[in-house]
Amino acid sequence: MDDTQLLRYSRHILLSELGVDAQQRFGESHALIVGIGGLGNPVAQFLAAAGVGTLTLIDADRVDLT
C-alpha cells in the first residue's frame, strides 16, 4: 500500500476491526454487481469508496442521451 492509499483509507485502517491487513485485502478483491439500478448504483459507490480493487458492473439496460 503506497502513501496515497494509506492517507485515503486512514480512517478505515484506524478501526480495530479492520487495520492495514483488511484494507490490503479489500484492494486485492474483486466484486461483481449485476444490475446498476436503484440498489446497484449506491452499492458500487460504497464498494469503490471502501477500496475494493476491481469492480465489474453488469447491466442489460440501454443508456439514452435524454
Interval 4-47: pLDDT, tens: 988 999 988 999 888 999 999 999 999 999 999 899 999 999 99
The predicted model scores a pTM of 0.79
pLDDT band with cut points at 50, 70 and 90 for residue 58: very high
Whole-number pLDDT of residue 65 = 84
> Which residue matches cell numbers 439496460?
61
3-state secondary structure of 4: helix
Residue from 4, 9, 8, 40 nearest 23 by CA: 9
Whole-number pLDDT of residue 56 = 97
Assess contact for 34 and 55: CB atoms under 8 A: no
Tell me the CATH architecture of domain 3-58: 3-Layer(bba) Sandwich (3.50)
Whole-number pLDDT of residue 62 = 84
